[in-house]
Amino acid sequence: DIQMTQSPSTLSASVGDRVTITCRASQSISRWLAWYQQKPGKAPKLLIHRASSLESGVSSRFSGSGSGTEFTLTIRNLQPDDFATYFCHQYTSHSGTFGQGTQVEIK
Amino acid sequence: ELQLVESGGGLVQPGGSLTLSCAASGFTVGTHDMSWVRQAPGKGLAWVASFDTTGGTYYADSVQGRFSISRDKSENTLYLHMNNLRTEDTALYFCARGRGDCDDRTCYPLLVNWGQGTLVTVSS
């Protein structure tokens, strides 16, 4: 299985900050990486697919980059609604694997 | 409006069985890849099983031979039949609708829409 290592596990930030979350794959996944936002008791929400393609309706404050084994999710001008858990997902096959998640909390 | 609503979770003893349901609305389960993903307490997400549009089924090694994924087009519902449950199967189970993300050679199974999950607890 392809292992996804996500960091940091927790991130403290303030409204208006720019934050970056990283995912590293144990082998190349080209650009087949998605980012999700999850809030307690809610369904995960797809933010970005194919490493950098923003899903329709998602704020342009979210952006993704990377290819191969190194990927980043950047949130600029952090808003109160952005405090949540974010996780990456490599989907090179049905048996895709996930990062452990990053909880973005209010500083 | 597209919606996925899971149900059927609960407390079950080790070795027991349970069937989870995922009722879909706003689309037809038969025309999309559908998957189950779980999240054990304090752990990350883990893919469990998928059903593709050709009828193909796929299972994680940890559930192969014990779990079975199926769908009922008339009920527009996805199921996960779980047998011989183990304590390590304790998790929040999500169903998800997929979308093929395609390049010029093949399509990759992107998980697009998720339900809120149903909790399965395996304990004596």
Written as six digits, the tokens of A100 are 């452990």
Distance (Å) of CA A65 to CA A22, A24, A70, A71, A75: 10, 12, 9, 6, 12
Terminal-to-terminal C-alpha distance of chain A? 36
Mean pLDDT by 10 residues, chain B (124 residues): 96 98 94 94 93 92 97 95 98 95 91 96 97
Q: Exposed/middle/buried for B5, CB within 10 Å: 0-12, 13-18, 19+?
A: middle
Contact between residue A23 and residue A6 where contact means Cβ atoms under 8 Å apart = yes
Written as six digits, the tokens of B14 are 């080790």
Contacts of A97 in chain B (CB under 8 A): 46-47
Exposure string of A83-98, with b = 16+ CB inside 10 Å and e = fewer, is ebbbbbbbbbbbbbbb
- Separation in Å, CA of A82 to nearest CA in chain B: 18
Distance (Å) of CA A10 to CA A20, A103, A107, B80, B92: 11, 5, 11, 33, 21
Would you list which residues of chain B are within 8 Å, Cβ to Cβ, of chain A? Answer: 4, 33, 35, 43-47, 50, 52, 58, 60, 94, 101, 108-117
Distance CA B67, CA B64 (A): 6
Contact between residue A102 and residue A6 where contact means Cβ atoms under 8 Å apart = yes
What is the model's pLDDT at position A46? 97
Distance (Å) of CA B54 to CA A26, B35, B50, B78, B79: 30, 14, 11, 15, 17
Rounded to a whole number of angstroms, the CA Rg of chain A reads: 13
Yes or no, beta carbons of B35 and A34 under 8 Å apart: no
Q: Give tens-digit pLDDT for B42-72.
A: 888 999 999 988 889 999 999 999 999 999 9
| Band of pLDDT at residue A41, cut at 50, 70 and 90 | confident
Q: Give tens-digit pLDDT for A61-101.
A: 999 999 999 999 999 999 999 999 999 999 999 899 999 99
Distance CA A2, CA A24 (A): 10
CA-wise closest residue to A97 among B61, B88, B119, B120: B61
Yes or no, beta carbons of A91 and B111 under 8 Å apart: yes
